[in-house]
Amino acid sequence: MKRLAIGLATVALLAGCAGSRTDGRPPLAQRVADLGKEGQAAYFKGDLSRARHLFELALRDARQIEDSEGVAAMSINLARVLRESGEPGGWASALAQLEQFPEWQRGVIPSRLAAEIDLLTAVLLADGGRADESLARLAVLREKCAADCGLSAGIESLHARLVLERGDAQRALDLADVALARFQAHGNRLELANLLRVKGEASLALGDPATARQALEAALATDKALAQPAKIALDLQALADTALAAGDRGAHAHYLARLAEVRRARAGAPPR
Amino acid sequence: MKPSSPSDFDELLGQPPARRRAWLFILPAILGLILLVVGVALKQGYFIRRVNLNFYAPTADGISVGTKIKLLGFPVGAISGVTFVPASAGQPRRVKLQARVDAEYLAHIPTGSLARLAQEGVIGEHVIEIVPGSDNARPVAAGEAIELKKEGGLGGLASMVETRVMPVVDEARVLLGTLNDERAGVKPVLADVRGLLASAGTTAQRAENLLEQSEAKLGNLLGDGEAAMKSARMIAGATDQRATELLDDARSVLKNAKTISEDGANIVRDLKSAAPGLLDDGRSAAADASQIAHGAKQSWPFRLLVDDAPAPPSLGVDTGRVLPAASGAAK
């Protein structure tokens, strides 16, 4: 028995030695990763205030240890939360957040993260009505991403959105159609839904409510599949406008009722 | 009969008292050890179902049994065998790499996926990174094969610099030397021609004008020597033997100029085509350099001392409009 016990103990010790070390990471690096994951979980649950708090903590820790990737990722995450918080001037706070990312760290982060910062900056400029600056950044980014950096659908979507917001509905529709044909099979689904929304709004502006409704229903189906309440609300609002333009008062009322329900749920109110 | 003392209990249990007490300690220890062994085995993935997957690579350089296989950065398996495959009809000699891959990840590897041999930093371990193909394709099945492409590490980068960049630099150096050489360069030849033309009369004067134009063209190395030659031949038809000789000299000068300008244009073209690659390689080198510490951390024995957490991913970018503030987006 003694021999068996010694043998088992030896096996256990050897197995322990053979195993690679999986914990014992530097505490702050581990904390950045953990806070980032918790923040993302809170974001996807719609708890933006908690997500913001967690991303702020993660960003502070990442800065302490000069974790460039962590700083970049948390800056992006924090900027998105600020943008989507619904607070007045959220875009400006988000832009200020992104502008704090040190220039010297751009050279050491993966090109995809750097491109994400550039694209998000262009988005925030568009939100703030600075369309010219946004288009200029977009042009630079498009050159950088000529071989498709994984953000091409987003770049084309923002371009179409900016053109639509400038009042050129026909060109926006053309851009959206081209991008949809290009990215339909393998594009980011959130961006495909954005493109469909631009297509719907452009079609509506061009007096084609039937095409608009078709595109917006497709966008709504995608956003529902992605469980994006804010996007669902945007889709329902646009569908209500489309129904009104088509003279379909019943559908208009139907979409508005659905929109009100989504808004109440987002605000935490009980359903009627 | 009721036992009256502890020794009576020992007798009833049929064990000597010291031995029974020893078991009270040994049994929990053995159970603890068994649990420990099972826990370690679980941690090591001994109970994970693995399936065979094959890779075909041009060489086995940098690959050995145990080389890790990663999918989107996740370790999903390791190489379990390396065998030589002789040339067959339509297929060159290759290396077959047998791998054991976690079965649960097969669903995320579509057919048409590629694999590449990468290195974790400059001095890090080699790993095989699977690059998934189209999501529309069916997942690979156990035993199927994936093509593996190789990427150069630091050695490959140095070799590329030597083979691609150095010839361009050498050529540029020779050209600059020729242009700057006061004795054998272009400038002295033009000066000689101009001296001879000074005594060749009016026709020669026209030829000199022509040469001056050619010299101007030589100045930027990209002039059109052929057009000048055509004009020079027309002039040569109407002048004397001396002028013809001079123009022959001029022709040789222009020919040289054309050759040099073509060389210059070729070099500029080479540099232009090489520049993006060089920049990319430079960026790669910079990225590698910035990751030296990271690579070292991934390699034994450093990884036993320091091991950092992977950077948390970003949420990505959403380029669509956001819900207006009045809609109450935040909780």
**Residues of B near A (CB-CB distance < 8 A)?**
26, 29-30, 33-34, 36-37, 40-41, 43-44, 134-136, 286-287, 290, 303-304, 306-325, 327-331
Q: Residue B326: CB partners within 8 Å, gap ≥ 6? A: none
A36-50, B4-18, B40-54, B182-196 — most confident range: A36-50
Q: How far is A207 from chain B (nearest CA, A)?
A: 22
Of B286, B314, B325, the CB nearest to A73: B314
Q: Which residues pair with B100 in a beta bridge?
A: B52, B78
Better-predicted residue by pLDDT, B19 or A260: A260
Residue of B nearest to A161 (CA): B320
Tokens 């959220």 map to which residue? A90
Give residue-wise pLDDT tens across range B216-246.
Answer: 554 444 444 454 445 445 544 544 455 455 5
Mean pLDDT on B180-187: 53
Please judge whether B319 and A15 are an interchain contact, meaning their C-beta atoms are less than 8 angstroms apart: no
B66-82 pLDDT tens trace: 888 988 888 888 999 88
Whether the pLDDT of residue B117 is over 60: the answer is: yes
Three-class secondary structure assignment of chain A: CHHHHHHHHHHHHHHHHHCCCCCCCCHHHHHHHHHHHHHHHHHHCCCHHHHHHHHHHHHHHHHHCCCHHHHHHHHHHHHHHHHHCCCCCHHHHHHHHHHCCCHHHHCCCCHHHHHHHHHHHHHHHHHCCCHHHHHHHHHHHHHHCCCCCCCHHHHHHHHHHHHHHCCCHHHHHHHHHHHHHHHCCCCCHHHHHHHHHHHHHHHHHCCCHHHHHHHHHHHHHHHHHCCCHHHHHHHHHHHHHHHHHCCCHHHHHHHHHHHHHHHHHHHCCCCC
Mean pLDDT within B192-220: 50
Q: Is beta strand B94-102 parallel, antiparallel or unpaired with respect to B74-85? A: antiparallel
The ranges assigned to domains in chain B are 50-151, 163-277
Could you please report the per-residue DSSP string of B57-102?
ES--TT--TT-EEEETTEEEEEEEEEEEE--BTTB--EEEEEEEEE
Distance from C-alpha of A225 to C-alpha of B191, rounded to nearest angstrom: 80
Residue carrying the six token digits 């090591």: B44
Contact between B76 and B70 under an 8 Å Cβ cutoff? The reply is yes
The CA–CA distances, whole Å, from A253 to A208, A223, A256, A258, B68 equal 20, 21, 5, 9, 59
SS3 B287: helix
How many residue pairs bridge chain A and chain B with CB atoms within 8 Å of each other?
169
Token digits for B134?
Answer: 């189209």
Q: Which two tokens stand for residue B173?
A: 């150096």
Chain-chain contact of B329 with A73 (C-beta, under 8 angstroms): no
Q: Among positive and negative, which fits the CA dihedral B25, B31, B32, B36?
A: positive
**What is the distance, to the nearest Å, from the Cα of residue A188 to the centroid of all Cα atoms in its chain?**
10
Q: Which of B131, B315, B327 to mutate to test the interface with A (most CBs of A within 10 A)?
A: B315
Residues of A in contact with B306 (CB under 8 A): 26
Q: What is the pLDDT of residues B246-303, one digit of tens each?
A: 556 556 655 655 555 565 556 545 544 544 444 444 444 434 444 444 444 444 444 4
Chain B residues with CB-CB distance to A113 below 8 A: 314
pTM of the predicted model as reported, rounded to 2 decimal places: 0.48
Report the run of H or E that residue B236 belongs to, with start and end: helix B225-236
Termini Cα distance of chain A: 72
Pairwise pLDDT comparison (B219 vs B105), residue with the higher score: B105
pLDDT tens over chain A, length 272 residues = 556 656 666 655 555 544 444 445 688 888 999 999 999 999 988 888 999 999 999 999 999 998 999 999 999 999 999 998 878 888 899 999 899 888 888 888 888 899 999 999 999 999 999 999 999 999 999 888 877 678 889 999 999 999 999 999 999 999 999 999 988 877 788 999 999 999 999 999 999 999 999 999 999 999 999 888 889 999 999 999 999 999 999 999 999 999 999 988 887 766 66
pLDDT score for A186? 76
B43 sits in which H/E element: helix B17-44
